[in-house]
Amino acid sequence: MTDHAITSVKVNDVSLNFGSVEVLKQLNIDVHQGEFLVLLGPSGCGKSTLLNCIAGLLDVSSGQIFINNKNVTWDEPKDRGIGMVFQSYALYPQMSVEGNLSFGLKNARLPKEEIQKRVARAAEILQIEPLLARKPMALSGGQRQRVAIGRALVRDVDVFLFDEPLSNLDAKLRSDLRVEIKRLHQRLKNTMIYVTHDQIEAMTLADRIAIMKEGIIQQLDTPHAIYNKPVNLFVAGFIGSPSMNFLEGELTNGAVDVGGTSVSVGRYGFEPGNENWSGRAVLGVRPEHVIVLNGVDTQPFSFDATIEIVEPMGADTIAWTTLGGHSFTFRADSELNLEEGQKIRLGFDPARASLFDAVSGERI
Amino acid sequence: MTDTALDIRASAGSQARAEALTGPNGPKPRPIISPRNIMIYGTLFVVSVYYLLPLYVMIMTSVKGMPEIRMGNIFSPPLEITFQPWVKAWAEACTGLNCEGLSRGFWNSVRITIPSVIVSIAIASVNGYALANWRFKGANIFFTILIFGAFVPYQVMLYPIVILLREAGLYGSLTGLVIVHTIFGMPILTLLFRNYFSSLPEELFKAARVDGAGFWGIYFKIMLPMSLPIFVVAMILQITGIWNDFLFGVVYTRPENYPMTVQLNNIVNSVQGVKEYNVNMAATVLTGLVPLIVYFVSGKLFVRGIAAGAVKG
């Protein structure tokens, strides 16, 4: 954690308004040196806008941005020490791959040998040497995105900004390039800020994830913490596929009454100070934390259920049932061969679940 | 017994299958002579005739001698082809005291059109680029005023511009006319370029900024190479518009600087002597030749550019 102590990018109280619309509301983020930070959220949450502000492509309405401890709030994008990769690749169509890679360096008036050296190095890292003479039109989507990454790479900067770089690729290429970006990060150890709406990308790549909604960061934490301890209903519902089961009921004396079924949450790890909380609450249970019981009740809470819908996914099966009047999904081994109408016994451990205030949506 | 029954059933089954396979197959045949085709091609034919007939009459008349024209059969092809009227229209026809034909007007028009087209497109493309990509303060107000300019009738501004040119000492000169054409081309051209540049992906512009290119760097190295179609459209609009202009030419220039259109008018409307229809027709075709050639040469690019620069937002 020692090398994480150095702040690479600092967003300080940044707000952005378009007319009367507040797109970003007093955001604060510290990105550590060498960290991979993912900005995740539904479309329109302001994540790309924030990235554009960091890049200097948009002026902030108030607040400051620091990169490498230098206040760059008023600096031009080229002077901020960033490289950026765009969703649509944004390759200059009339230039060859080599021209695309060297364009920024020529603008910076670097000597010819230096430009050649950097282009060669980037091409070697990304394995695009055979493509250098080609025009972007003659490249496939994956190759184009590699060139786009190369264009950020040659700039020899400390901070990489990715604006949904994989969203235009098909599923197979996306997972290939995802691994490649991770490998690149391990090799270069640059700070990377990565915008996406794909939670798989976020979970697999990030050191930390910032989940945004309506211009506000809901939670900024490691993927593990975000998955296991979401701070509110929005984060809980946004992360995880299929999404978390929400069972609303009255929480009294360490038990939630869900439509007549009492679920004891005695072993649940309450947030400090909330141990004696009572009132309307939402119990969140991840479908993958539900276990199909085979005669023996191994789980702290168990109940009988009738399967209504089965969705076989290959590796496993998503099944739909009800608990206390609420729709309830769970993930089961596909070997179980679940069928619609089948009666089974399910169980889960409330200690692994999440509890939220039904009114404010905050974690209890 | 049972065997034959089975056979019959089997053969009936295969028959049904054979029938299913022999049904409609591949593209549906469409008769060449159908009501739909007759309507389409009939309409196209009538419209073509409607537009081509005057052109036909013009060209036929222009290669006839005067005696033949006096016989009055304007649709009949010439009995004896002569190119004398063309020579006369180009080099000998008289307007007032000067008998150099249309050639002088042609060269005047060239000297007016080329600088006007270049200057107006150069300025308008930068305007459009700035409006589309660099949203500066007051951009919307600037744009609204510019568009408003496109709807003000020219006639309203004729006299004020005469005074302005006179004060600037440019009245009657070709330079003055070039300035007028440049200004009047500005609203529509700026709109055209702004819409085209807005349609280019914004991320390209952002990438260029991250790469350290400035206002002019992005314009010349990124935007210009991608904008051939819209430049062709702008050129066609301007060349035909300025070449065909009569009003500004007659108001803002002196007789020795008259563009071709004004001179054509003077030849055709001269009241002395016999009306030489063949010379008039030849002169008219000559005057219209430049825009016509421009359209034919750049037709494909024109359509592409018009689609790309379609007016929106």
Q: Which H/E stretch holds residue A120?
A: helix A112-126
Please say whether the beta carbons of B71 and B277 come within 8 A: no
Shared domain check, B171 and B72: no
Residue A88 to residue B211, Cβ atoms within 8 A: no
| Amino acid in the structure at residue A14 | V
What's the mean pLDDT in A113-130?
92
Q: Report the candidate in A254, A193, A253 with the shortest Cα–Cα distance to residue A220.
A: A193
- How distant is the Cα of A301 from the closest Cα of chain B, in angstroms? 52
Sort strands A36-40 and A191-196 into parallel, antiparallel or unpaired: parallel
Coil, helix or strand at residue A344: strand
Shared domain check, B228 and B147: yes
Residue B203 to residue A86, Cβ atoms within 8 A: yes
| d(C-alpha B166, C-alpha B158), whole Å | 12
For B43, the domain range is 32-82
Q: Which H/E stretch holds residue A70?
A: strand A70-71
> Is the full-model pTM beyond 0.90?
no
Chain B residues whose beta carbon lies within 8 Å of the beta carbon of residue A52: 206
Apex CA A235: angle with CA A230 and CA A237, to 5°? 105
Is B178 part of any domain? Answer: yes
Q: What is the CATH number of the domain that holds B201?
A: 1.10.3720.10
Residue A93 to residue B212, Cβ atoms within 8 A: no
What contacts B33, CB < 8 A, 6 or more positions away? none
Residue B203 to residue A76, Cβ atoms within 8 A: no
Give the tens place of pLDDT for each residue, A221-268: 999 999 999 999 999 999 988 899 999 999 988 888 888 888 888 788
A184: confidence class by pLDDT, cuts 50, 70, 90: very high
A298 at B interface, C-beta within 8 A: no
Give the tens place of pLDDT for each residue, A143-158: 999 999 999 999 889 8
Residue B6 clears pLDDT 60, i.e. is over it? no
Residue A1 clears pLDDT 50, i.e. is over it? no
Residue B143 clears pLDDT 90, i.e. is over it? no
Shared domain check, B174 and B220: yes
Confidence (pLDDT) at B1: 45
Residue A103 to residue B213, Cβ atoms within 8 A: yes
- How distant is the Cα of B202 from the closest Cα of chain A, in angstroms? 8
Please say whether the beta carbons of A245 and A327 come within 8 A: yes
What's the mean pLDDT in A200-226?
94
Report how far apart, in Å, the C-alpha atoms of B76 and of each of B62, B70, B72, B282 are: 12, 13, 9, 17
Select from B210, B215, B226 the residue whose CB has the most chain A CBs within 10 Å, as the one to mutate to test that interface.
B210
What contacts A57, CB < 8 A, 6 or more positions away? A77, B206, B209, B210
A151 at B interface, C-beta within 8 A: yes
Shared domain check, B156 and B55: no
Residue A92 to residue B208, Cβ atoms within 8 A: yes
B311: confidence class by pLDDT, cuts 50, 70, 90: very low
Confidence (pLDDT) at B67: 86
- How distant is the Cα of B210 from the closest Cα of chain A, in angstroms? 5
Select from A107, A149, A160, A168 the residue whose CB has the most chain B CBs within 10 Å, as the one to mutate to test that interface.
A107
Domains: count for chain B? 2
| d(C-alpha A132, C-alpha A143), whole Å | 11
Residue B12 clears pLDDT 60, i.e. is over it? no
Please say whether the beta carbons of A78 and A104 come within 8 A: yes
| d(C-alpha A125, C-alpha A114), whole Å | 17
Confidence (pLDDT) at B167: 93
Is B19 part of any domain? Answer: no
- Cα separation of the two ends of chain A: 29
Task: Return the higher-pLDDT residue of A31 and B22.
Answer: A31
Could you tell me the sign of the dihedral formed by the alpha carbons of B199, B203, B205, B208, in that order? Answer: negative
| d(C-alpha A58, C-alpha B135), whole Å | 11
Residue A86 to residue B206, Cβ atoms within 8 A: yes
Shared domain check, B125 and B53: no
Is B56 part of any domain? Answer: yes
Is B45 part of any domain? Answer: yes
- Provide the CB-side half-sphere exposure for A356 (13 A, CA): 23
B16: confidence class by pLDDT, cuts 50, 70, 90: low
Q: What percent of chain A has pLDDT over 90?
A: 70
B7 at A interface, C-beta within 8 A: no
Sort strands A159-163 and A191-196 into parallel, antiparallel or unpaired: parallel
Residue B3 clears pLDDT 90, i.e. is over it? no
Is B20 part of any domain? Answer: no
B228 at A interface, C-beta within 8 A: no
Chain B residues whose beta carbon lies within 8 Å of the beta carbon of residue A87: 203
Please say whether the beta carbons of B285 and B59 come within 8 A: yes
Select from A49, A86, A89, A157 the residue whose CB has the most chain B CBs within 10 Å, as the one to mutate to test that interface.
A86
Q: Report the candidate in A44, A1, A7, A17 with the shortest Cα–Cα distance to residue A197.
A: A44
Shared domain check, B289 and B208: yes
- How distant is the Cα of A291 from the closest Cα of chain B, in angstroms? 47
Domains of chain A are 3-231 (3.40.50.300), 235-357 (2.40.50.140)
Give the tens place of pLDDT for each residue, B109-135: 999 999 999 999 999 999 999 999 988
B137 at A interface, C-beta within 8 A: no
Residue where the block lists tokens 């934390």: A289
Is B229 part of any domain? Answer: yes
Residue B206 to residue A107, Cβ atoms within 8 A: no
Residue where the block lists tokens 């063949």: B278
Size of interface A-B (CB pairs under 8 A): 60
Could you tell me the sign of the dihedral formed by the alpha carbons of B42, B44, B50, B52, in that order? Answer: negative
Question: Phi, psi (5° rounding) for residue B63?
Answer: -105, 15
Give the tens place of pLDDT for each residue, B218-251: 999 999 988 888 898 899 889 999 999 999 999 9
Shared domain check, B123 and B59: no
State the ipTM, two decimals: 0.85
Looking at chain A, which residue has its C-alpha nearest residue B208?
A104
Confidence (pLDDT) at A107: 92
Please say whether the beta carbons of B283 and B102 come within 8 A: yes
- How distant is the Cα of B222 from the closest Cα of chain A, in angstroms? 7
Give the tens place of pLDDT for each residue, A155-173: 889 899 999 999 888 888 8
